[in-house]
Each structure stands twice: as structure tokens, then as C-alpha cells.
Structure 1
């Protein structure tokens, strides 16, 4: 009885035996030579194509290369366009500079012509004054020409006045103006020191411009 019980304990149950059989079926035996042959038959990563099982990194590099080439062509086209625009702007600038130089020449010529006409007009108006002075000198030596000279001088003053020319004639006792008065000398005088004592020669001014300063003497300090 005891021997039968021990035998029954040593023998596996049907369930355990079935489980061991399944484990043996699911776990195939490992063959080193078969594994080596399988590894040798697998393609290397660098030899795989772009199809199924291809290296994704290699495909990405190809796409980046295509993008770089397209970008380079686009940049080259933009560079050519910029160069064309630069050439066009330089051409326009050259023409503008030439036009401006021509404009300056025309304006200068116009100004010179205006000045020449103004000078001619002034000379024409002064010629009668010169004629009157010549006629006065042609009088006999005993003739009194003072009246004629005074008339001629008045005529000359009127011409200058019409041209906007004014006389600079400071009064005695005024302070000298270095921009309008030229001090010839300092003299002893009963006037306060440093003021105009006497007008030696009148000056002339036209607008804001002094044509000739007045010459004066100044009382000594």
C-alpha cells in the first residue's frame, strides 16, 4: 500500500505532464549554426534601400540634400535678381547725376545772363551822366560849370537810388560801427573820446551788404 502511494506521488499528473509537453513545443531548441547563418543573411544597414526595411536616416539625408539643392537654386535666382536691380539703380543714379550737373550749368548760365543784363542796364543809365560831365568840361575856361556839375551829380545819385544803393554818412558824435565805418585816424577833439569826429568820405550799402565803408576820424581817448 505504501509502495503504491509513493509511486503515485512520483508520477506526474496528467495536467502537469501536458504543461511540460507544451513548454517543450513552444521553446525550440537553439542551434548556434542556424543563428550564424541567419545573421549573415540579413542585409547591412548601409545596404538597405528606400523600400520596406530601408534605413530612415538615409532617407532623411536624401530629402535634406534635395532641399539644400532647391534652396541653393532659389538663392542664386534671388542673387541674380538683386544684381539686376542694383545695375538698374546705378544706371538711374548716373543719369540723375548727369541731369543735376546739366541743371546746375543751366542755372549758372541763367544767373550770369541776368547779372550781365543788370550790368548793361546800369551802364546804359550811367552813360547820360558821363555825357553831361563831358559837356561840362567842354565849356570855356571862364564859364561857371558848377551848376551843371551839381545837376549831373544829382542825376547820378538818382540812378544809384533806383538801384537800391544808399549812402553811409554818419553824423559827428555817433559811435563808430566797424562793419560800416573805417577809422582813418584818431584826432584831438572837444567831443567825447571814442566817437566820430568828422566824415572824410561817405560809404555806400545796397540792401544788407556794405559796398564801401565810410571813412571817418574818431576823437582821441
Structure 2
């Protein structure tokens, strides 16, 4: 696999049997969307996993990344993508590039353009290298939680949990647009929830979904490069 094509399978991406087993395990854990399962089969998670934990890439585990970031567990990524309900040709803003795995899945699912914002320069640079050049793809170092983006987006994905939804990002939703994030728990020991925001003809609506465990995202200057 070349870096210019993150959605093709590399030599070390595993055998067809291993790929099928990975998808079957996701199905057994409740992932039913065939388009997302197909995308997760085609985008090898091990390419995006940290080298020290690559052997765990096909397990349903969150993996540590540099700068205190985390590569979200596959079933959680799938749940967020199901809620995002991405249609081919749509314009996506992603907050929290991390390893670039979810970015590659967005492209595989047919996004026409993905702008991905990452707080840490080191993570952004590594993700750009893994993803390679691509039409409509931009990975930028930026504080996505305080960004308004450029124009309106059909879909916005926040890869983490936030104590409240940033008004600037809600304002960046196009008519008919959808934002998906993790909403942090309010009490000690609580579990966050999936939250979906829709911009409809009558304004903005918000709905809570299943419990999710996601790393908290905080606005501000990165403490590490």
C-alpha cells in the first residue's frame, strides 16, 4: 500500500480470513451497517495503530497515541459513523484527527472533501503521512473546538467527548447537516453519551444516543508539539 491510497490494502494488512474475522467480530458486537463494515474491512486499522500496539489493531480496544491522545475502539468509531449517516459526495469537518483512521474511513465512505483539524502538530504530521495526498483532503493543525470552519459542512464529526457542544461548530452545519460527538458525563464515574445534532428546516435539534467511552477533548494551545 502506498501512502497516497490509505483505503487500499497493504501487504501486511492481514489475510482475507483475518479481514473476515475482524468484520465478523464487529458484527457480533452489534455493528450492522454493511457500508461501514465494508469500509472497516478495506481500511486496515493496523496501518494507523502505533507500532508498539499494532498486534492489537484487530481487537475492539482503544489504543494509546502520543500526546495523551487515543485511537478509539472500532465499535465506538462504527457507532459514531452510523450516527453521522454520511452520504457520498458530502463535505465533512473532522475534529481530532488522531491517527487518521477515522479520516480514512470517511474517505472510504465517499466523502467528497474532508477537513480534519488536530490540536497536536506531531499527530497531524503523522496522520498526513499515513493518509498521503488526496483530492479534497486537508489535515491541519488547529484547535478544532474553537474553529468555525470555512463555510458550511454537511457533516461534522468530533472524535472525543466534550462537556458541551461548541456553538461555533453547530453554526458551521449546512442546512440538513448533522454533527456527531461524545457528550461527557456530568457526574463522577459516569459514562458519556453519543450526541447527534441536526440542522433542519425548523432549526437545530439534539438527541442523545448510546453510552460511549471517549477521551475528553479540551480547547486550548497544545502542551506538546
The TM-score, its normalising length taken from structure 1, stands at 0.21
Higher Cα Rg, which structure? 1
> Could you say which structure has the higher strand fraction?
2
Structure number with the bigger relative contact order (C-alpha 8 A, sep ≥ 6) is 2
Higher helix share: 1
- Give the TM-score, by structure 2 length: 0.21
